[in-house]
Amino acid sequence: MNPTKKVAFYTLGCKLNFSETSTIARSFVDEGFDRVDFKESADIYVINTCSVTENADKRFKTIVKQAQKLNPDAFVAAIGCYAQLKPEELADVNGVDLVLGATEKFKITDYLNDLSKNDFGEVHSCEIEDADFYVGSYSIGDRTRAFLKVQDGCDYKCTYCTIPLARGISRSDTMVSVLKNAKEISEKGIKEIVLTGVNIGDYGKGEFGNKKHEHTFLDLVTELDNIKGIERLRISSIEPNLLKNETIDLVSKSRTFVPHFHIPLQSGSNTILKKMKRRYMKELYVDRVSKIKEVMPHACIGVDVIVGFPGETEELFLETYNFLNELDISYLHVFSYSERDNTEAAEMEGVVFKNVRAKRSKMLRGLSAKKRRAFYEKQLNTKRTVLFEGENKEGYINGFTENYVKVKAPWNPELVNTLHKVQLTKIDEDGSVRFDFSSEKVIV
């Protein structure tokens, strides 16, 4: 391969995708390629796709067009979940030369001996049953935080979700490998590691190629908490039925794990949760939130929720709204239900009109803003530690406290990837937090 070739990457979707993109990018660098920003002209553009929502599907075509504008002769490759689920559909997109499925994406450089543009996209895609082995990943150099993949795939059968079809069965990295990767990340000077996966609470299943749990998620966080040199560890999304009291207690006493949980709810109606085939009822969710707040009153709790699921009447939606309104949570990630091929929900009766979905989504986003404001107000006059990130956003640098309060300060490159203990004193007009070095106080 020509060592002067340039490659650029674009990632759609979740933290897991970002960790895998970063690992794949390092494989290109090892092969002699130069990695450049996606906004620059490159010889190869690699797009890591997502297929959780219809919007993620549509954005793919827009990104391909962006690449073609930058270099009409560039070789364009599509990888990721959408590429596994609908490879032929992606291959038909004008400008796409190569589509790789769930197992092939980690061997992408093996498919690049000829970078000539193709009249039709070439597809290399496996049967998802073959995606039964584990490939470790972590992100380095893309952000202040590193995303460390500890688990992949899912054995749950939620009726709206295509992830098991796109990523295969639940399987885990070995404990030895996770700890090794965490040490490597820490040694590179990165202050915060975010644990990520499809269903990280299921960690341990498939660790050595079998269904038996050699270790549990509690074992994993216990071992990580003992690694010297790591400043911060953050748990990404974890299912409520897999978030155990012992894990919550560990976080409350931890040296490194921060008081921030993101726990998918999806609906505050037991009727809808049953139709979704979720593995809990809303009463368990209340119990998890109550336990966290009991031992960590200052903890930040984020919630995923889907509106407009088939059969969600106005009454059932209001049940969700009122449930969330009364719950001691900090913010919401709101998703309008999106029909996905080959899912049970796509065939269900009681379809909710898209304009109704949009209205309900807007209502919950308004509630999220209210919840976040209330959470920030509770943090006033407390001291927190801020980790500043690396981007200049209109003259400001942003950072987050350990409990995920967003802070901003006038841009200063010396602040990048540094920790500062400050006092939160006032909420700014835009809802974020300003940092005043002269008084060592923060405006929330």
In the prediction, which pLDDT does 1 show?
46
pTM over 0.85: yes
Tell me where in the chain the CATH 3.30.750.210 domain(s) lie. Answer: 131-258
pLDDT(132) > 80: no
Tell me where in the chain the CATH 3.30.750.200 domain(s) lie. Answer: 286-378
- Pairwise pLDDT comparison (4 vs 185), residue with the higher score: 185
**What ranges in 87-216 are assigned the alpha helix state H?**
87-91, 163-167, 175-187
**What's the chain's average pLDDT?**
90
In the prediction, which pLDDT does 422 show?
86
pLDDT(2) > 70: no
Q: Per-residue pLDDT tens for 223-232? A: 999 998 899 9
> What DSSP character marks residue 189?
T
In the prediction, which pLDDT does 318 show?
98
Task: Name the amino acid, one letter, at 118.
Answer: N
| Assigned fold of 131-258 | Transcription Regulator spoIIAA (3.30.750)
Tell me where in the chain the CATH 3.40.50.12160 domain(s) lie. Answer: 6-126
Identify the residue whose tokens are 């796709």. 49
383 close to 421: Cβ distance less than 8 angstroms: yes
Strand partners, 387: 400, 419
- Which CATH number applies to 286-378: 3.40.630.10, 3.30.750.200, 3.30.470.20, 3.30.450.40? 3.30.750.200
Burial 175-200 (b: 16+ CB within 10 A, else e): beebbebbeebbeeebbbbbbbbbbb
Q: 126 falls in which pLDDT band (50, 70, 90)?
A: low
Among the residue ranges 126-135, 195-204, 258-267, 355-364, the one predicted with the least confidence is: 126-135
* Backbone phi, psi, residue 342, to 5°: 65, 30
Q: Per-residue pLDDT tens for 327-344? A: 999 999 999 999 999 999
Spatial separation of the C-alpha atoms in residues 159 and 152, rounded to whole Å: 19
Burial 286-301 (b: 16+ CB within 10 A, else e): bebbebbeeebeebbb
Q: What CATH class does 6-126 carry? A: alpha beta
% residues pLDDT > 90 (the chain): 66
